[in-house]
Amino acid sequence: MEITGDARVFAVINTANYNGDGRWCIQTATMEKLPDLGFDKTDTNRIENLRVDDVLGGFDYEGVLVVRIA
């Protein structure tokens, strides 16, 4: 039996600066889930090249960071 899949997992961090409301959130996501969290094709193209431990910011919305955790 063979089990395959994309093992990439990301932590999507909305810092307290996101939305300017002082609230924060940390969510995990796979590549397939990223569009559901508001990332467009340009964003996902940047994210898919991350290596484990890489951190990416600089999105159109301030206060969002993506960390590849697996």
Provide the residue ranges of all domains of the chain, joining segments of one domain with +.
Answer: 39-63
When comparing pLDDT for 4 and 25, which is higher? Answer: 25
What CA dihedral angle connects 46, 60, 58 and 64, to 10 degrees? -100
Count of other CB atoms within 10 angstroms of residue 39: 23
pLDDT at res. 16:
87
- Pull the structure tokens for residue 44: 């996902």
- The pair phi, psi for residue 46, each rounded to 5°, is -70, -40
pLDDT (mean) for 3-11? 82
Provide the pLDDT confidence category of residue 4 given band limits of 50, 70 and 90.
low
- Condensed to tens digits (0 to 9), the pLDDT of residues 8-62 reads 999 999 998 887 888 899 999 999 999 999 999 999 999 999 999 999 999 888 8
**Confidence grade of residue 3 (pLDDT, cut at 50, 70, 90):** low
Strand residues in 2-63 grouped as ranges (E): 10-14, 25-29, 55-56
